[in-house]
Structure 1
Amino acid sequence: MADFMNLGRGENSNYPRLRCFDLWKLHSWAGGLTEFRDGRNQESTSEAVNGYYSAALMGLAYGDAHLVAVGSTLSAMEIHSAQTWWHVREGDTLYAQDFTRENRVVGILWANKRDSGLWFAPPKWRECRLGIQLLPLLPISEVLFSEIGYVRELVAWTLPALAREGVEEGWKGFLYALEGIYDKEGALSKIRSLNEYDDGNSLTNLLWWIHSRDNEEEGCEGGGKFCWFDHYCH
């Protein structure tokens, strides 16, 4: 945890605070100091979100209010940045028209460009692009993908890629998980047909996710749908 969540206290006070988080861009860089022609880069926004979310949960477990505050604040910033820079909606004007027309999610965001591909997958492997921006599937994921209209667009854009030969079952699971946000029964049927799951996922986790979806539109006040820590605060 100290590797990326240094708060400048105690024995870690000599290390840079927040390490890989960029307070100007409001998101982390996975490749921050390594020299690349196109500068710094970030691939999986969901891993960054979950990293700071886990720090906040650790703060809750140890009664460290400062860690809870910093972890939840950085999670919120990562979510805002992911929804701004990585989530590409129909009709968006942030990127060039041809890029927006062909993409619903950025693969890798660099300091001076964006890629449709991933480090391990070409652009046409859309299921991998969706999955790498969602995994691991945890309660905070519903906040990251809280815009149902965009989720529908992303799922519709990704589904045709599953017809490609050799698509791995684990990636399908993440796609079906997002589909379950607006179509529980349809997604559940598809999940039950899977034969394998991603290393960071399981049938149990997918079933928890699907069966915990509902139609509530409440906010955090009173423990609503998007209250991050409602599961842990009693």
Structure 2
Amino acid sequence: MGTRFGLLGCGNIGGEIADAIDKKVIEGVVSAVYDIKRENAVLLAKKLKKKPYVAPNYKALLSRSDCIIEAASQEAVKKFIPEALANGKNVLIMSVGALMDEKIRKRIYALADRKNANIYLPSGAVCGIDGLSAASICGVEEVTLTSTKPPKGLVGVPYLEKKGVDVTKLKNATVVYEGFADEAAKFFPKNINVAAITTLASGKKAKVRIICDPKTKTNTHEI
């Protein structure tokens, strides 16, 4: 059967991961699924060939899993991942931005070390993370990440709304944010996991520039 994966979060991302495991693109089996909206978990379970257990609560998810895949939110990382590690479970964290919170990062790392558990962090939509990590051994002086996104990827972001930026009315490529990764993770929790993994891989707090370009249809990232 291989690794028993417990899926925390059954939205679009969680669904894609579960489907890949179900089709054996990833070795193992989705043994259990859990979502705070139970209907999401039930719906996902019905779509899979190998029907996972729909856990009524997080503890039930843990009891049926070897590795917890978080595909929910930064808040879910802070609330649930420490308990998984405390129980000796390996974890894969999709919402990497949560680790920009130094307090939670140190807690999670300490638990993993104490319980001899593994933490897996995906590189996401940017390549070269392995090279950046290797470079950090010799020391990285500065890292800047420039992310260019179409307006649809930034609609409804509270930070931009407070700044009075209406991305749907932009005519040309416009810098809508400049700062550091820890702040970007707070202001753009669903948009900037790339900044978090860049920071963690390099050992340096990445400078972040976010550009909204109405002439592009896809996200691009440059380190």
- Common fold: TM-score over 0.5: no
Instruction: Give the TM-score taking structure 2 as reference length.
Output: 0.31
Higher relative contact order (CA 8 A, sep 6+): 2
> TM-score of the superposition, structure 1-length normalised?
0.30
Instruction: Report the structure, 1 or 2, having the larger strand content.
Output: 2
